[in-house]
Amino acid sequence: MASLTHFQQGDSSEDMLASIRSDGACIIDSVISPESVARLRGETDPYMEATRDGQDDFTGRSTTRTGGLVGRSPACRELIQHADILELCDGFLLEYCERYQLHLGQIIRIRPGEKAQSIHRDRWAWGTHLAHVEPQLNTIWALTDFTAENGATRVVPGSTRWEDTRKAKAEEIAAAEMALGSLLLYTGSVFHGGGQNSSPHDRIGLNITYSLGWLRQEENQYLSTPPHQARDLNSDLQQLIGYSMGQYALGYFTPPGAPGESADIADPQDAVRSSSGAFETVGSPESLRNLEERIAGKPSPCDP
Ligand SMILES: O=C(O)CCC(=O)C(=O)O
């Protein structure tokens, strides 16, 4: 039977990254306390209870998916910015981008009687175009215990380089069993899916995922947390959800207004800064030089 490696908080992030790279997934046990989970549940349960089941077999007809968590829950905001997770994102994603971003935040409640979700890759959100990079790193925080019986995520360790069409055999699939407050980490390339819930209780997980800053986000953060709400967030979180330049020329905006009223090429961060309404022009000789140096330092694919 397949299995996933378990780590403890404080274990070496290099070892965790090695496990994520080889297996595509690992578990970190008991990262947050039952009290922290209770606080988070207190903030988000009213939204979860009001969420309707999915409309198809993939999203799950007995599964609820609740989003907008950046705007709705301070406790979720803290987990999105958890320093240990961002350190792993640095190690895993910055190989392919200058900046990564929040891809989605979603509470997934698998209710009793739900069938197993089909095994899939999350990177298929962008079709099958991204086999040459690792476009995302994902977490599912256990807000209840995760057991094979109640729908623990099913993961296929070592499947990151499989052909898209390969089907996992039963013995290749591991159940991500973990206690409340623990965390499953998995890549956009590893095959996985929600499990069947044959228990009498809900299985609840908080899915927080991060993607390369030059890709479209699965949850449209600008609509889920529009500028008037994003203004109240700390600056790092504003940038993480997308109010930032993805890289030198990526993501600028033009503030609406009369001719000459403000810069025409503005940084999205200016739109959510609480202190000033001024828009600075994006770009500077220094940032251009940085980009040129990065390009010059990169070996060409044609180099022998
Ligand atoms: O809830 C889970 O355990 C996994 C869900 C999932 O993989 C998905 O919806 O893409």
| Nearest-10 Cα torsion for 228, 230, 106, 182 | -150
Residue nearest to atom 4 of ligand 1 (CA): 194
Six-digit token string for 16: 């965790």
Are 207 and 254 found together in one domain?
Answer: no
Number of domains in the chain: 2
> What pLDDT shows up at residue 304?
44
> Among 156, 191, 212, where does a domain finish?
212
Q: Are 9 and 84 within 8 A, CB to CB? A: yes
State whether residue 34 is helix, strand or coil. helix
Residue-number span of the structural domain to which 26 is assigned: 6-212
Q: In testing the pocket of ligand 1, which one of 66, 103, 117 has its CB within 8 Å of the most ligand atoms?
A: 117
Give yes or no for residue 153 CB within 6 A of ligand 1. Answer: yes
Residue 240 inside a domain? The answer is: no
Cα 96 to Cα 110: distance, rounded to the nearest angstrom: 33
- Cα 181–Cα 183–Cα 186 angle in degrees, nearest 5: 165
Mean pLDDT by runs of 10 across the 304 residues of the chain is 96 98 98 98 98 96 98 98 98 96 98 98 96 96 98 98 97 98 98 98 98 97 96 97 93 91 90 75 83 79 52
Helices of type H across 156-244: 221-224, 227-230, 235-241
Euclidean distance between CA atoms 96 and 109, whole angstroms: 32
Type of residue at 254: T
- Closest residue by Cα to atom 5, ligand 1, is 194
Q: Could you give phi then psi for residue 123, rounded to 5 degrees?
A: -70, -10
Query: Chain-wide mean pLDDT for the chain?
Result: 94
**CATH classification of the domain holding 101:** 2.60.120.620
> Is residue 135 in contact with ligand 1, taking CB distance under 6 Å?
no
- In angstroms, rounded to a whole number, what is the distance separating the alpha carbons of residues 234 and 216? 22
What token pair was written down for 285? 């000789």
Asked whether residue 235 is domain-assigned, the answer is no
| CA gap 107, 50 in Å, rounded | 12
Residue 270 tokens, joined: 């200016």
Whether 192 and 83 share a structural domain: yes
Domain membership of residue 195 (yes or no) is yes
Same domain, 203 and 274: no
- Among candidate residues 212, 240, 260, the one where a domain is terminated: 212
Contact 30, 7 (CB under 8 A): no
**Cβ 205 under 6 angstroms from ligand 1:** yes
- Count other C-beta atoms under 10 Å from residue 167's C-beta: 9
**What per-residue confidence (pLDDT) applies to 303?**
53
Backbone angles phi, psi at 174, to 5 degrees: -105, 140
